[in-house]
Structure 1
């Protein structure tokens, strides 16, 4: 799940930024089309497609289990593709909105380098919506891995949840559900704290004592 999260962030954010900076070009349209396609394909369908292409046809990776580090590639791609598409779309939308703000236009009018404008003014203000969706994804990684781990016969938490439900092992099921709920709450709490780090306007000011 951690490599899948790194894959989502590492692919989604640069793709969204690149699409926003090349708005209404073929690069932007290609990025949006790839994001929509990746998000529309369910996880189990994407997993079977990757197995057919890279395991059955090309014989590059095994179709299931965990014996070598390379066996991690297909599950990570399956689990991270849809999330990367969502992050790319949110990042692009936030970037496009911020790029049209007056302070960005004023910064460019003052002659600041375009790279500095993007890094200093655009990215921090566009990071809040992206950070929100990343927080939701962190919490849902455990639940989202159920199908992927079942498809690839992966010995993980998701497959354990499926086997526990099938065998009616309620103690394990309840423990895993508590783990999923705890991860959701913790991820959203961390995101709330990071809001103030990224955007100073969201920081809670210290109350002024009454005189």
Structure 2
């Protein structure tokens, strides 16, 4: 990698952003600041932060606290499901080989579920930052991220998370979580398709 490409990657990484909730004017300003801080730190919400968001939105907080505790396990389960279906992905020549590429895929899945939980806590399913997603598409393209494999992992994560949340909360809330993760998937497809068309 030359110096110019390294600089380009750093610049895109700074602009790439999935979560746009902190820019949503329909959400209380103090809660937008909570989301902005948590998202900047790339972390799940604290129990207190979840309670504040849920008190504002009217969403039952306890199931979301429980769901957050299960996020690492849900990502691991989705990883196992994908690799059970497609074990060659992580073998030499596979789209998720070497290990660093696979780790990046699972890490992205964690972040997609993390920001989806932000959305559920605030009763929002369309949570993405449009310009940030465009930058993400550029970054994925530059790094040759295997987006189809990532989307298949995200599909497993969506299904596992919905099933788990349905057991903790209600079918309607689980459906909303599924819609939020599907929104992210659709946005990734959209921005990648547009990026590819612009670079023909």
TM-score range with shorter-chain normalisation?
A: 0.3 to 0.5
Higher relative CO (Cα under 8 Å, sequence separation at least 6) belongs to: 2
TM-score normalized by the length of structure 1:
0.31
TM-score normalized by the length of structure 2:
0.32
